[in-house]
Amino acid sequence: AQSVTQPDIHITVSEGASLELRCNYSYGATPYLFWYVQSPGQGLQLLLKYFSGDTLVQGIKGFEAEFKRSQSSFNLRKPSVHWSDAAEYFCAVASNQAGTALIFGKGTTLSVSS
Amino acid sequence: ETGVTQSPTHLIKTRGQQVTLRCSSQSGHNTVSWYQQALGQGPQFIFQYYREEENGRGNFPPRFSGLQFPNYSSELNVNALELDDSALYLCASSSRGLGPAGYEQYFGPGTRLTVT
């Protein structure tokens, strides 16, 4: 069965420092991968997606992610974190069994210290 | 362009009761998916509707049911509420038929359901 693992439950980063959030997926073929962000009390906002081609994808708010097939990973990065980036981040993979559903990881909470 | 909207924002129900949650999809989208997000967890897929028919279902019992209307809006119904049904219910819309882009889902703000 497909699955997504986000190994880090909670990460704290200093403002201005770089950020990397880890995501590992389980899927046989080339996956469709997504990163979403959720601010407190709000729905999920799509940051970026990977379908095929260039393995480094750019998203909104200065985020990027790199697809590494050999490591089954799709890690999210940002070179300089802002206090407003504090939120919950979810990695997701497209399901191959239920329409166009997404399978989400449990999320990583990002705190930003000043 | 109007985004995904959901109503109500919050809801408190008693165990055993029934609840209906509503969702209006983003303009131009023809597919609606529902997810349950328990506290501290990632969203879990409940089911999806396309062309007014259920088009995929997650591991949820039949007391979770839904509808999609001709204008692509949707309802989620939950019967015989249990305490564990307390969660944030998220609706997402997408546009099926665009290849991989059909998997891009745009979420509403959610309905917070509390079952006591």
Q: pLDDT tens-digit profile of A57-109?
A: 999 999 999 999 999 999 999 999 999 999 999 999 998 877 889 999 999 99
**Record: contact A101-B109, CB cut-off 8 A:** no
Is B60 in the A-facing interface, judged by CB distances under 8 Å? Answer: no
Helices (H) and strands (E) in chain B, counts: 0, 11
Q: How far is CA A39 from CA A35, A63, B14, B21, in A?
A: 14, 16, 28, 22
Cα–Cα distance, B99 to B67 (Å, whole number): 24
Distance from CA of B1 to the nearest CA of A (A): 16
Is B97 in the A-facing interface, judged by CB distances under 8 Å? Answer: no
Minimum Cα–Cα distance from A38: chain B residue: B109
Residues of B in contact with A42 (CB under 8 A): 109-110
Minimum Cα–Cα distance from A39: chain B residue: B109
B101 SS3 class: helix
Residue B1 pLDDT class (50, 70, 90 cuts): low
Residues of B in contact with A32 (CB under 8 A): 100, 103
**Record: contact A43-B107, CB cut-off 8 A:** yes
At B87, give phi and psi (nearest 5°).
-175, 175
Mean pLDDT (chain A) is 94
Q: How far is CA A12 from CA A6, A15, A32, B51, in A?
A: 15, 10, 28, 44
**Record: contact A46-B108, CB cut-off 8 A:** no
Is B96 in the A-facing interface, judged by CB distances under 8 Å? Answer: yes
The DSSP symbol for B26 reads P
**Record: contact B100-A32, CB cut-off 8 A:** yes
**Record: contact B41-A90, CB cut-off 8 A:** no
Signed CA dihedral, A73, A64, B102, B87: sign only: positive
What is the model's pLDDT at position A24?
Answer: 97
Cα–Cα distance, A36 to B92 (Å, whole number): 13
Residues of A in contact with B109 (CB under 8 A): 41-43
Cα–Cα distance, B44 to A98 (Å, whole number): 12
Report angle CA A30, A106, A42 to the nearest 5 degrees: 105
B95 has a pLDDT exceeding 80: yes
**Record: contact A34-B104, CB cut-off 8 A:** yes
B99 SS3 class: helix
A31 SS3 class: coil
Is residue A24 within 8 Å of A72, Cβ to Cβ?
Answer: yes
Minimum Cα–Cα distance from A5: chain B residue: B42
What is the model's pLDDT at position B101?
Answer: 85
- Closest alpha carbon to B42 in A26, A11, A93, A111: A93
Pairing type for strands A56-58 and B10-13 reads unpaired
Signed CA dihedral, B46, B52, B56, B61: sign only: positive
What is the model's pLDDT at position A29?
Answer: 77
Residue B100 pLDDT class (50, 70, 90 cuts): confident
At B84, give phi and psi (nearest 5°).
-70, -10
Task: Choose the closest CB to B48 out of A45, A101, A103.
Answer: A101
